[in-house]
Amino acid sequence: MANKHPGIRAALCHDLNSARQGVQDDGMNLLVMGGYGLTPDWACEVAGTFIHATYLPPEQALGIPPRRLARIVEHIRKNLDTPLAVGTLSRMAQMSQSHFSKMFKLSTGLAPHQFVLQERINRSQELLRKDDAKIVDVALEVGFENQAHFTTVFGNLVGMTPRQFQRSSDYEPTVMYGHSLETAQIW
3-class DSSP state for residue 179? Answer: strand
At residue 57, the pLDDT reads 58
CA distances from 149 to 5, 115, 117 (A): 39, 17, 12
**pTM of structure:** 0.59
CA dist 40 and 61 (Å) reads 36
Residue-wise pLDDT tens digits, 143-160: 999 999 999 999 999 999
CA distances from 3 to 6, 11, 31, 92, 98 (A): 7, 8, 11, 18, 11
At residue 185, the pLDDT reads 46
CA distances from 30 to 26, 102, 103 (A): 11, 20, 20
Residue-wise pLDDT tens digits, 101-141: 999 998 999 999 999 999 999 999 999 998 788 999 999 99
